Structure 1
Amino acid sequence: MAEINGPREGDSEPDYRFTLANERTFLAWLRTALGLLAGGVAVHQLVPAPTALSTLLAGLCVVLAAVLAASAYPRWRQVQAAMRAGKPLPKSGLLVLLTAGILVITVTAAALVVFS
């Protein structure tokens, strides 16, 4: 929570390029979440004869979008705090989660195309 209340004593301001790169990464997570949300809404609205599979696909997109959007700011904050404290950057489970989520969405979309 140091970033919200200001840097902790002994912390230093990181090079602005790293701070901006961290911000760009945060915004990329949000863009990805918005893209997934748009995909979920599009599947829900544009599939002519909704099935359980298309509903599942739309739901998966929306849920993954919500998880990414909810995780983006805490991740930005953790990285910023580590940079200020001169510590190694924290590991992120978001990459594995996003990869697995996109894989499940892709397989579900393929099933929708093949079986519809």
Structure 2
Amino acid sequence: MASEPQESEDEAQLDYRFDLANERTFLAWMRTSLGLLAGGVAVHTLVQPFKTAGFRRALAVSCLVLAVIVAVGAYGHWRRVGTAMRRGETLPRTVMVPILSAGIAIISVLAGVAVLFK
């Protein structure tokens, strides 16, 4: 008679709905990152140069850097939330929301200035 392996505390089974919700949140962050990546490439490739040298590049690079930050942060948050759920701990907070908000605000200001001084 074979006994079933014991689950460690770190591998406890979750209600699949919580695990899938965590995954959907991760995928939403990844879509945001991909949108920023596409925006950065589009600005660099399609937008005509501005009168101020380097402005288009600064706008494109800002989008690309924020895309990397969001992608890496999303993975870290997904892992931390999954671990906390399996251990029955309170869910960790994320700094991704303020980072994304500030990043998009900065990019928006850069875009606004670029349009005003074109």
Q: TM-score of the superposition, structure 2-length normalised?
A: 0.87
CA contact (8 A) 2:33 2:66 kept: yes
Aligned partner of 2:71 in structure 1 is: 69
Alignment of 1:1-116 (within 5 A): 8-9=8-9, 12-50=12-50, 51-116=53-118
CA distance in 1, matches of 2:66, 2:114: 18
Shift of 1:99: 0.5
Between structure 1 and structure 2, the one with the greater Rg is: 2
CA contact (8 A) 1:40 1:61 kept: yes
Aligned partner of 2:3 in structure 1 is: none
Query: Which residue type is aligned with residue 68 of structure 1?
Result: V
- The alignment's C-alpha RMSD in Å is 1.5
Shift of 1:10: 6.5
**Greater displacement, 21-30 / 46-55:** 46-55
Shift of 1:49: 2.1
Shift of 1:70: 1.4
Query: Which residue type is aligned with residue 46 of structure 1?
Result: L
Query: Which residue type is aligned with residue 17 of structure 1?
Result: R
Q: Deviations over 1:81-101 (max 9, x none)?
A: 111111110011111100000
CA contact (8 A) 1:36 1:64 kept: yes
Query: Which residue type is aligned with residue 41 of structure 2?
Result: V
CA distance in 2, matches of 1:46, 1:11: 48
Query: Which residue type is aligned with residue 112 of structure 1?
Result: A
Runs of 4+ in 1 over 4 A off after TM superposition: none
CA distance in 2, matches of 1:30, 1:13: 25
Q: Across the two proteins, how many residue pairs are aligned to each other?
A: 110
